[in-house]
Chain A
Amino acid sequence: MTTTADTGAPRLSMRTRRALWVWGFLALPLLFYGVIRFYPTLDAFWLSLTNANPGNLRRGPEFIWFDNYLRLFTSRDFWQVFRNTFAYLILGTPISLVLSFVIAYYLDKLRFGHTFLRALYFLPFLTTASAMGWVWRWFYQPAPTGIINSALGAMGIPGLDFLRSTTWALPSIMVTAIWAGLGFQIIIFMAGLRAIPQSYYEAAHIDGLGAGAILRRITLPLLKPTTVFLVVFSSIGFLRIFDQVYNMTTNDPGGPLGSTKPLVLLIYQTAFQSYQMGYASAMTVVLFTVLLVISLLQLWILRDRG
């Protein structure tokens, strides 16, 4: 890019030239956000009110008002998927947060081999979900293939066919997802712990507070923004769970009997396997609404931070 403006006869004012640069910088990005973000968002809302499928797209799909939503809210499949999705969230978020906080809290105190220990916890975060889904799937196989069942067998405990049980398949997949995200949460918690000024702890020591009291009265309250961020981040992650479920149940995606199927998998199947794109769009609008409510809750909880 070169300036051609200032060689021309009528010299542009400084202001105008600056404005030209600004909008020059923003032109392509604005086009991008318009075409790749805003238009598709509006399109998704519109599609959710139509019977769009690849067959009728050329002629233009029919506008069917809220039929997709009516169908959705009276569909047993949808409610099962909705329950599953919240089961991932309600079990997964607290478990992963408590685990990652406890680990971060103690790991933060350790000096010897700190980088090494941290690396052990952080490593799974960098793996590919599809690859690790298969590794865990193998772990969960019945004996003698699966490690977990073999270990249980060796201890004389009867094994479980984890991924074929309608009760245990969802928690088993959830464990994989928690495992994959734990390292990230630990690092964020440690960053939050570091951000607490050391002087607070020194003052508490002088006042003779014990470790438990320091944790309750200083660490946890000051860590609130970090915790809220992670609750929201983790909740959003569980609400959008897909990779692990898809890879761990490829023979019957979301099975057995739909007991592990999350909303995003149902969206995928509805849109790209049965090609009911209008109906699937209505589901994405529901997902969007749930995520929006959670994000707004975060803002509301943190409102007093100024």
Chain B
Amino acid sequence: MSAADIAPPLPKGRIRPGRILTWTLVFIGGVIMVTPILFMFSTSLKTSGQIYDLRLIPARPTLDNYIKVLADGRFLRWFVNSMIVAVAVTVSSVFFDSLVGYTLAKFRFRGRMFVFLAILSTLMIPTEMLVIPWYLMSANFGWLDSYWGIAFPGMMTAFGTFLMKQFFETVPDDFLEAARIDGLNEFTIWWKVAMPLVTPAISALAIFAFLGNWTAFFWPLIVTTSKELYTLPVGLTSFAVEQSIQWEMIMTGAALATIPTLVVFLALQKFIVRGVMLAGLKG
């Protein structure tokens, strides 16, 4: 897949002055969009004495802030916490959402419509309404302040189920019948035959689940109380509050929280954009 198949088909033409003006304006807008990110990195490379110097390129860039912020290992810990939770939730929701989406798309059984509508109806319920019962439930079962406590609400999602169902509906039944005649069991048919046919949808869902959980703030803020269990976004907030007005340190922390998603983005831009388009159109 090249960038060209996402880019619009345009009649080839001469370069017109109007187009150059449009390009320039769109470019300026784009630069404004990334300005906060650029200044965050810029300031993270400045010493506290230099932060009033608002030049984008620091006069004497230094990595001292990063060394200071990383020294006590807190950020590393939060990074690991976020990674564990985001990976676990992503794997779980991709697995179960695909399985349920497949079952609803490819089997005819009594209660199918009921199960589908029941799952779909949960899309209407905002997380905010569930957090108080979740909190009480977690307190009861001892899930507060644990990885499981942070992760359990996202282990399956109605959105993912719906998305995968849409895609599995495009898989021809003949493929599955052929596999049945070959004597494969239903689980193997799903896993070995159907799943490979919907990899674009799987990657879109995986990227969404990962980013959504990586940046999640509200529930992790509620369910974690000890700093060792904070996820990166929550940890960053507590770090920034503690730094008060040491903006170069805060920007360093913010940069550390942002770098992982930027790396993911630069590596997977095409997939992410396609995934957003896919999900936006189907959802």
A residues adjacent to B (C-beta < 8 A):
1-3, 18-19, 21-22, 25-26, 28-30, 32-33, 36-41, 43-44, 47, 54, 57, 103, 106-115, 117-124, 126-132, 134-136, 138-139, 141, 144-145, 147, 150, 179, 182-184, 187-188, 190-195, 198, 226, 229, 240, 242-243, 246-247, 250, 264, 267-268, 271-272, 277, 280-281, 284-285, 287-288, 291-292, 295
Contacts and interface: CB of A to CB of B under 8 A. Distances in A.
B247 A138 contact: yes
A295 B133 contact: no
B217 A130 contact: yes
B133 A179 contact: no
B71 to A, nearest CB: 20
Interface residues of B, number: 93
Contacts of B109: 18-19, 22
A29 B99 contact: yes
A280 B119 CA distance: 26
A103 B28 CA distance: 11
A62 to B, nearest CB: 16
Nearest to A102: B29
B247 A240 contact: no
Given A2-B185, A131-B257, A268-B222, A144 B128 contact: no
Contacts of A108: 8
Interface in B177-218: 185-187, 190, 211, 214-215, 217-218
29 contacts: A19-B109, A25-B186, A25-B190, A33-B119, A37-B130, A37-B158, A38-B122, A41-B133, A103-B29, A109-B19, A111-B7, A115-B6, A117-B30, A122-B269, A124-B37, A126-B261, A130-B257, A131-B40, A132-B254, A134-B253, A139-B36, A145-B52, A182-B33, A188-B277, A192-B281, A243-B218, A264-B218, A268-B222, A295-B124
Contacts of A136: 36
Contacts of A145: 51-52, 245, 247
Contacts of B30: 117, 120-121
B54 interface: yes
Interface in B206-257: 211, 214-215, 217-218, 221-222, 232-234, 236-237, 240-241, 245, 247, 250-251, 253-255, 257
Interface stretch (B59-67, B148-156, B164-172): B148-156
Contacts of B132: 43-44, 47, 271, 277, 280-281, 284
A188 B95 CA distance: 26
Given A111-B10, A119-B269, A287 B129 contact: yes
A25 B237 contact: no
A183 B33 contact: yes
B279 to A, nearest CB: 9
Nearest to B260: A128
Nearest to A54: B139
B168 to A, nearest CB: 12
Contacts of A285: 129
A145 B6 CA distance: 42
B262 interface: yes
B37 A123 contact: yes
Contacts of A139: 36, 39
B172 to A, nearest CB: 18
